[in-house]
């Protein structure tokens, strides 16, 4: 589910230094989870390497990050083991909150950010109109957020 609508950053396609990464690991993390839940969320080394982009070259990759909450990469958003290997599986609906924040919708499905950089000042995301897309601007506030995290049970 698309839980919110946020901008990626004001001008950069660098996930390591992005607004959305900070928002996920501070504002969202602190408000969405109580102390007990936070104890079960694993700190994750997030792969931001070339391999995570699904491309042969990409000058905009960044360092790996250590995060409690993160966005999926292009490769993860197409991974059968995550249940995301078909276009239909990636068509996600927005929460009521995301709708109230102005998330873009088409037939009650929403666009959502990925952390994978593209070859411009943009990030790839999932577009309900055409599948994977390149956002024109990382400062769009109408793109959805689909947080990812690992928990220990």
Evaluate whether 108 touches 63 at the Cβ level (below 8 Å): no
- The continuous run of DSSP H or E covering 22 comes out as helix 19-23
Q: What is the mean pLDDT of residues 120-148?
A: 67
Q: What is the mean pLDDT of residues 19-45?
A: 97
Evaluate whether 103 touches 142 at the Cβ level (below 8 Å): yes
- Number of Cβ atoms within 10 Å of the Cβ of 37: 11
pLDDT digits (tens, 9 = 90+) for 97-113: 999 999 988 888 888 88
Reported confidence tier of residue 121, pLDDT bands at 50, 70, 90? very low
Q: What is the mean pLDDT of residues 47-75?
A: 91
């Amino acid at each position: 589910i698309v839980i919110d609508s946020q901008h990626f950053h004001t001008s950069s396609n660098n996930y390591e230094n992005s607004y959305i990464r900070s928002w996920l690991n501070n504002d969202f993390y602190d408000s969405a989870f109580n102390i007990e839940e936070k104890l079960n969320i694993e700190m994750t080394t997030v792969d931001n390497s070339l391999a995570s982009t699904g491309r042969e070259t990409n000058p905009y990759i960044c360092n790996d990050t250590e995060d409690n909450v993160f966005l999926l990469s292009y490769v993860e958003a197409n991974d059968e083991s995550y249940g995301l290997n078909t276009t239909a599986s990636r068509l996600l609906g927005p929460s009521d909150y995301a709708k109230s924040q102005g998330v873009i919708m088409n037939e009650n499905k929403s666009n959502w950010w990925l952390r994978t950089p593209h070859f411009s000042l943009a990030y790839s995301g999932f577009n309900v109109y055409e599948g994977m897309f390149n956002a024109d601007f990382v400062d769009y506030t109408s793109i959805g957020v689909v947080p990812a995290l690992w928990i220990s049970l």
